[in-house]
């Protein structure tokens, strides 16, 4: 299990937070850990080029000497679907480029945490979605469920498609992202009954997430 892919039920559900938690956990065990954000939409201009905040968080968490461009091969300024952002820049996300970048990371790492963009079915280009790319590789997954109104539908649709792709689902994380969400416990209890994979933990709503506290409350021992 040299790679773990972190997917989510939607955009803004906490994939980067969980990816950082995993990186910090594995670094603390003495492993060489890299990360990858294959495609990122929504970036600011810097003297070094476009930079996406999520990809920078991953870069600043790993303990391997990879550059920003190596962990985030495709970055676009507009916060829109990656395939549309690429087209508006007269580019196309090429799977061969992603594969080459990943191969370089995994060859020099004990673990690579790969974070998706948006949800499980987000397109990489007009022909291939994240679900296709990751499904073909059969990477183990962790699914982040953003607990808010509508989360049961989003979670079960994502879960069922992951099963169809036959990727090993290591578990899922319930992340409360709406401070005003009602019946949080009942929503999570329903998902625990209907997702036949372990819930690795329940993250309460945080104004500012405490990564160390989250690591202490997640069941990460099953990940090695």
Instruction: List the catalytic residues.
Output: 37
Q: Do 161 and 131 form a contact (C-beta atoms < 8 A)?
A: yes
Centre a 10 Å sphere on the Cβ of residue 216 and count the other Cβ atoms it contains: 10
> What is the enclosing helix (H) or strand (E) of 113?
strand 111-115
Length of the chain in terms of residues written: 224
For residue 222, the 8-state DSSP code is: G
> What is the enclosing helix (H) or strand (E) of 54?
helix 53-61
Tell me how far apart the alpha carbons of residues 9 and 146 are, in angstroms, rounded to a whole number.
7
> What is the enclosing helix (H) or strand (E) of 114?
strand 111-115
């Amino acid at each position: 299990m040299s790679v773990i892919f972190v997917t989510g039920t939607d955009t803004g559900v906490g994939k980067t937070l969980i990816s950082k938690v995993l990186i910090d956990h594995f670094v603390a065990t003495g492993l060489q850990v890299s990360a990858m954000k294959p495609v990122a939409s929504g970036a600011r201009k810097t003297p070094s080029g476009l930079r996406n905040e999520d990809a920078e968080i991953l870069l600043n968490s790993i303990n391997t000497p990879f550059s920003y461009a190596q962990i985030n091969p495709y970055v676009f300024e507009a916060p829109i679907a990656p395939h549309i952002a690429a087209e508006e820049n007269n580019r196309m996300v090429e799977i061969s480029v992603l594969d080459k970048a990943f191969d370089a990371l995994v060859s020099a790492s004990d673990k690579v945490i790969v974070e998706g963009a948006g949800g499980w079915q987000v397109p990489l280009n007009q022909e291939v979605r994240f679900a296709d790319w990751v499904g073909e590789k059969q990477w183990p997954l962790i699914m982040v469920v953003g607990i808010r109104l509508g989360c049961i539908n989003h979670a079960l649709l994502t879960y069922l498609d992951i099963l169809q792709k036959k990727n090993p689902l290591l578990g899922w994380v319930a992340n409360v992202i709406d401070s005003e969400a009602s019946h949080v416990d009942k929503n999570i209890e329903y998902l625990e009954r209907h997702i036949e994979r372990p819930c690795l933990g329940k993250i309460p709503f945080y104004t500012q997430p405490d990564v160390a506290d989250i690591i202490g409350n997640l069941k990460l021992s099953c990940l090695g």
